[in-house]
Amino acid sequence: MQSNCVKVPKREGESTRKMLAESEVIDYRLKIKSDEQFVYIPLIPGISKDILSKIDPTLALAECDFEENERTRSVEEILGFAPSFEVIGDIAVVAEEYDVKVGEAIMEVHKNVRTVLVPTTPVVGEFRIRHYRVLCGEDRTTTVYREHGFIYEMDLNKVYFSPRLSTERKRITDQVTDMELVLDMFAGVGPFAIPISKRAMYTIAVDKNPDAVEYLKKNIALNKASRIEAVNMDARDIQTPQPPDRIIMNLPHTAHEFLDVAFRLIATGGIIHYYDIRPETEIFDAVIKMVRQKASYSGCLIDIVNKRIVRSYSPHEYNIVLDIRVVGKQD
Ligand SMILES: C[S@@+](CC[C@H](N)C(=O)[O-])C[C@H]1O[C@@H](n2cnc3c(N)ncnc32)[C@H](O)[C@@H]1O
């Protein structure tokens, strides 16, 4: 069967396969093949030259004939039920109630998954960290995650990360212009701040967790980002050289405690992206009222220019965002 593929010299075959697997672009329905000199890795339909160059600009798109793999059974077919799990890089995270059989089924079907983790704690503390144990596969909690052409290294035992905010991160990044000073108050390993830094005049990325800032610095280097500064500090104490044009407040549950800081710092005309967790029974009204009150205490006149549900958070709760434009400020 004809398919788009990546053709690389044999010595680069395994590292390229790994990278493409992490980006989740290999078509596992087809068999990877090789000849004397080259390895040919089939790609899932729809992977364009442009997407490939964002994974690695040295890769070239080719076309080739491939043999089909025998169809692998789905995880549900193997287990008799569909377990919920999340894949971050080459690590799958399953719910605490699942045993090793679930991990093995996931690894059998998802060839890019090398480790399956199970949480041993809920998300806890101000750093929003979860602890895990290895259910099966390689004994590690570190991985490399790819999103919109950027790469993020992280240790899931030491930092917060959710792949489920990918669309939201792109939505925010796409709004940024080259005249902006951007402040990410709760930056984690950098999935908002690093893409933004490629578009903004300058980005300040703050996190209180020293491990998150260590990975943030690593990821700044990995993505060759400049015009960005990683700061290990409590966001409450942050000073900026001039009022930021945009502030990201991605600390649902407690970001409201920092709204006074954001309203004090933000430039007139600037925008604050405020995240929260809301019950399904009352999604926007109370949070908008609270934001308006805090704005008023801070002497800010605001306009809520956008409100949306980002994702479901738990069976009866939603992660939401408000885009708050500060249209006027009292001195
Ligand atoms: C929900 S995570 C978001 C991380 C990142 N924005 C992302 O999308 O992956 C919130 C982050 O805020 C950090 N944090 C918590 N309290 C903080 C504070 N007072 N000042 C700065 N960072 C803080 C945590 O360490 C964590 O990395």
Q: Each residue of 284-293: pLDDT tens digit?
A: 999 999 999 9
Nearest to 195 by CA among 214, 217, 216, 223: 223
Cβ–Cβ under 8 Å, residues 208 and 234? yes
Predicted confidence band at 324 (pLDDT cuts at 50, 70, 90)? very high
Tell me: pLDDT of 132 over 80. yes
In terms of domains, do 30 and 177 share one? no
In terms of domains, do 105 and 58 share one? no
Residue bearing tokens 């959710």: 162
Q: Whose CA is nearest to atom 17 of ligand 1?
A: 208
In terms of domains, do 48 and 87 share one? no
In terms of domains, do 249 and 100 share one? no
Q: Whose CA is nearest to atom 6 of ligand 1?
A: 187
Q: Give the model's pLDDT for residue 50.
A: 81
- Domain of residue 172, CATH code: 3.40.50.150
Q: Whose CA is nearest to atom 5 of ligand 1?
A: 188
Distance 251 CA to ligand 1 centre (A): 6
By percentage, how much of the chain surpasses pLDDT 90? 80
Cβ-count burial 222-250 (b if 16+ within 10 Å, e if not):
bbebeebebbeeebeebebeebbbbbbbb
In terms of Cβ atoms closer than 10 Å to its own Cβ (0-12, 13-18, 19+), residue 82 is exposed
Tell me: pLDDT of 172 over 80. yes
Distance 15 CA to ligand 1 centre (A): 32
Cβ–Cβ under 8 Å, residues 92 and 116? yes
Tell me if 153 is assigned to some domain. no
Domain boundary among 35, 65, 95: 65
CA-CA distance, 159 to 209, in Å (whole number)?
8
Q: Give the model's pLDDT for residue 105.
A: 96
Residue bearing tokens 């080459």: 90
Q: Report the pLDDT averaged over residues 141-149.
A: 95
User: Residues lining ligand 1, CB < 6 A?
Assistant: 126-128, 160-161, 165, 186-188, 191-192, 206-209, 212, 234-236, 250-251
Q: What sign has the CA pseudo-torsion 185, 188, 189, 190?
A: negative
Tell me if 196 is assigned to some domain. yes
Q: Whose CA is nearest to atom 25 of ligand 1?
A: 127
Tell me: pLDDT of 305 over 80. yes
Tell me if 155 is assigned to some domain. no
Tell me: pLDDT of 72 over 80. no
Q: Which backbone phi and psi does 308 adopt, to 5 degrees?
A: -155, 155
Tell me if 147 is assigned to some domain. no
Cβ–Cβ under 8 Å, residues 75 and 111? no
- Domain of residue 93, CATH code: 3.30.300.110
Predicted confidence band at 19 (pLDDT cuts at 50, 70, 90)? confident
Cβ-count burial 176-214 (b if 16+ within 10 Å, e if not):
beeebbbbbbbbbbbbbbbbbbbbbebbbbbbbbebbbb
Tell me if 26 is assigned to some domain. yes
Q: Report the pLDDT averaged over residues 247-261.
A: 96
Residue bearing tokens 């398919």: 3
In terms of domains, do 191 and 248 share one? yes
Q: Whose CA is nearest to atom 4 of ligand 1?
A: 188
Tell me: pLDDT of 71 over 90. no
Q: Give the model's pLDDT for residue 169.
A: 95
Q: Give the model's pLDDT for residue 64.
A: 93
- Domain of residue 40, CATH code: 3.30.70.2580
In terms of domains, do 189 and 281 share one? yes
Tell me: pLDDT of 18 over 90. no
Q: Report the pLDDT averaged over residues 154-164.
A: 94
Q: Tell which one of 159, 184, 197, 207 to mutate to probe ligand 1, the residue whose CB is within 8 A of the most ligand atoms.
A: 207
Predicted confidence band at 73 (pLDDT cuts at 50, 70, 90)? confident
- The domain total for the chain is 3
Q: Tell which one of 238, 251, 259 to mutate to probe ligand 1, the residue whose CB is within 8 A of the most ligand atoms.
A: 251
Tell me if 158 is assigned to some domain. no
Tell me if 70 is assigned to some domain. no
Domain boundary among 140, 155, 180: 140
Tell me if 170 is assigned to some domain. yes
Ligand 1 atom at minimum distance from 275 CA: 1
Q: Which backbone phi and psi does 143 adopt, to 5 degrees?
A: -155, 170
In terms of domains, do 61 and 185 share one? no
Cβ–Cβ under 8 Å, residues 133 and 120? yes
Q: Give the model's pLDDT for residue 183.
A: 98
Mean pLDDT across the chain: 94
Distance 34 CA to ligand 1 centre (A): 45
Tell me: pLDDT of 280 over 90. no
Distance 231 CA to ligand 1 centre (A): 12
Nearest to 188 by CA among 215, 166, 170, 167: 215
Distance 129 CA to ligand 1 centre (A): 10
Name the residue range of residue 101's domain.
Answer: 75-140
Tell me: pLDDT of 194 over 80. yes
In terms of domains, do 185 and 284 share one? yes
In terms of domains, do 7 and 115 share one? no
Distance 8 CA to ligand 1 centre (A): 39
In terms of domains, do 97 and 23 share one? no
Tens of pLDDT, residues 197-239 = 999 999 999 999 999 999 999 999 999 999 999 999 999 999 9
| ipTM exceeding 0.85, yes/no | yes
Taking every pair of Cα atoms in the chain, the longest distance, rounded to a whole number of angstroms, is 73
Tens of pLDDT, residues 35-61 = 999 999 999 988 888 888 878 888 889
In terms of domains, do 256 and 221 share one? yes
In terms of domains, do 315 and 205 share one? yes
